[in-house]
Structure 1
Amino acid sequence: MTRTSPAPLDGTIMCHAMWARDGRALAEFYATALGTKVSETYPGEQGEPAACAFTIGPSMYLFYTSKAFAAPNWPEDDLPFHMDLTFSDVRAAEEQLLQIGATKPAHQPGGDHWTVLLDPSGQPFCIHQAR
């Protein structure tokens, strides 16, 4: 019996979602880092602001508020997800990110290739020089 392969899937990522104790603050941080503004808010079950978002190109970045959120104990904990951001001037970007709420942990496994920062919620993200 001859089997045919199914047609390749053609999905695209529509939304990247992250959780934090304060979704709005995290959305504002990443929106500023990426040169945009928070453009949408979504209510929770009781009408309270539960999530904030912005869109870049075809992708939405959504940040949920979760009072139960706990940042990973990085580098000890595995990360289920993290973001890598690129900048034309990575040194200047690092300075600005630190000014708007990022912190720089002592553990830096990237050498000259990338820098790890922690966003205001305590989650690691990496910054790189744009190629």
Structure 2
Amino acid sequence: MATETGGPGSTLKGRIMCHAMWARDGRALAGFYATALGTAVSETYPDENGDEVAFAFYVNGAMYLCYTSESFTAPRWPEEELPFHMDFSFPDVAEAEKRLLEMGATKPAHQPGGGHWTVLLDPSGQPFCIHGTH
């Protein structure tokens, strides 16, 4: 049974402060998602050699961080299950899809949403879904 006083059995009340993703080009991926979400990359982080390898932007107080990884390979979706993916909502899904494709997303042939959502691949090849705002 959860208690409100802390200690064993207490209810945790954390919040997500950062969503981290990897890509061959973290700067480009951060720019893509920041633009899609109406913001801009606002912070960069260096590695031990001083090279910028992580790029951050914020939405509703949560940080989104995109890392550059030389060894990154995109998931082979839908053949492989995804450990996670993100869903976004837009007031005008058709317009959002058009703009996201112009920004470098691609639309795979496999569309399992039955018209309820659209799967796109971000510029690094990772799937994400777009929905209409309810």
5+ residue gaps, structure 1, are: none
TM-score, normalising length from structure 2?
0.93
1:37 aligns with 2:37: no
Query: Given the alignment, which residue of 45, 51, 55 partners 2:54?
Result: 51
Identity, in percent, stands at 69
1:108 aligns with 2:72: no
For 1:57 and 1:33, the matched residues in 2 are separated by 14
How far has the Cα of 1:111 moved from its partner?
1.1
For the residue of structure 2 that corresponds to 1:94, the secondary structure is helix
For 1:97 and 1:54, the matched residues in 2 are separated by 18
How far has the Cα of 1:41 moved from its partner?
0.3
Could you list the per-position Cα deviations for residues 52-103 of structure 1 after superposition, in whole angstroms to 9, with x for gaps in the alignment? Answer: 0001112000000000000001000111111100000000000000000000
1:28 aligns with 2:42: no
For 1:68 and 1:81, the matched residues in 2 are separated by 19
How far has the Cα of 1:45 moved from its partner?
1.2
Query: Given the alignment, which residue of 11, 14, 17 partners 1:14?
Result: 17
Q: Name segments (4+ residues, structure 1) moved above 3 Å.
A: none
Map of 1:39-118 to 2, 5 A cutoff? Answer: 39-118=42-121
Aligned length: 128
5+ residue gaps, structure 2, are: 3-8
